[in-house]
Structure 1
Amino acid sequence: MSARIGPAHGRPFSVSPVQHGAVTVAHLTGELDPSTVPTLREAVEPLWERADVAAVVLDAAGVTFCDSTGISALIGIRRQSQAAGKRLVLSGVHGTLARFLTITGLRQAFEIHDSVQQAIRAASPGA
């Protein structure tokens, strides 16, 4: 699977999902804020229903900004993954996203890896 979703409402944000076996990596690019959160949800929510997806890696290396709405969306996505019995992993967390997760104490609520490759290895079935 490879599709690019975005930009939303003229804002510079996109989600580019790529399948790696049973792991889907969603490469996030741009600002994650109230005008772009719907694009993230639209791209990720259908993945929980797919039988060929055991885990989703959200690659945040391309995220240039994240506010509280973006954090709230990530919490919602985490809840959806748990309800679906699938694994959610973040990679490339930096900048405002890293600060928000640290300040709010939510960093421990997410499985986070430095690189996409590390996240794929960790999230692959049997790992």
Structure 2
Amino acid sequence: MSSEAPGRSTLTVASGLSRNAVIIRLEGELDVYAIPILREHMQRVWELPAKPFLILDLGAVAFCDSMGMNELVEVMQRCESRGTRLLLAGVHGVMARVLSITGLRHAFEVFVRFDDAVRLAVATL
């Protein structure tokens, strides 16, 4: 966890569109303070017409608490209700450990490399 003041998020969210995927990059800490930022960003995504894939690039996530994991589960459920496949990309280090410890590793489609998730989305055109 960072040494910044309590109650301040260190998460940044960026996104882009490809032909058949929404790509969202998270950087920083996915914790209780980051949830409002991620939800606000995701609300804009949910307002778009559904794409076949949503790729969450977690390669730059330095910390993830239980609230962050809960939010990822909610994103997965929302994707399922829209007929969108959620791909977690850049899963290594902290995120790999958190997914393993929580037993959620097999609940998600997980890719160590971002490029592998993108390749799957492109190959499914």
TM-score by length of 2: 0.85
Conservation of the 8 A alpha-carbon contact between 2:50 and 2:82: no
User: What is the distance in 1 between the residues matched to 2:63 and 2:12?
Assistant: 13
User: What is the distance in 1 between the residues matched to 2:50 and 2:106?
Assistant: 27
* Unmatched runs of 5 consecutive residues or more in structure 1: 1-8
Is 1:69 equivalent to 2:67 in the alignment?
yes
What secondary structure, in the 3-state scheme, does the structure 2 residue paired with 1:109 have? coil
Bigger mean CA offset, 10-19 vs 103-112: 10-19
Structure 1 match to 2:33? 35
Alignment coverage as a number of residue pairs: 119
Is 1:85 equivalent to 2:83 in the alignment?
yes
What RMSD over aligned residues (CA atoms) do the two structures have, in Å? 1.8
Conservation of the 8 A alpha-carbon contact between 1:55 and 1:124: no
Measure how far apart 1:95 and its partner are: 2.7
What secondary structure, in the 3-state scheme, does the structure 2 residue paired with 1:108 have? coil
Bigger mean CA offset, 113-122 vs 63-72: 113-122
Is 1:94 equivalent to 2:97 in the alignment?
no
Structure 1 residues 50 and 124: alpha-carbon distance in aligned structure 2, compared to 1, 3 A threshold: farther
**Residues 63-91 of structure 1: CA distance to partner in whole angstroms, max 9, x if unpaired?**
01101111000001100000111111001
Structure 1 residues 114 and 96: alpha-carbon distance in aligned structure 2, compared to 1, 3 A threshold: closer
Select which of 2, 13, 22 maps to 1:24: 22
Q: Where does structure 1 differ by over 4 angstroms across 4 or more consecutive aligned residues?
A: none
User: What is the distance in 2 between the residues matched to 1:37 and 1:94?
Assistant: 21
Report the identity percentage: 36
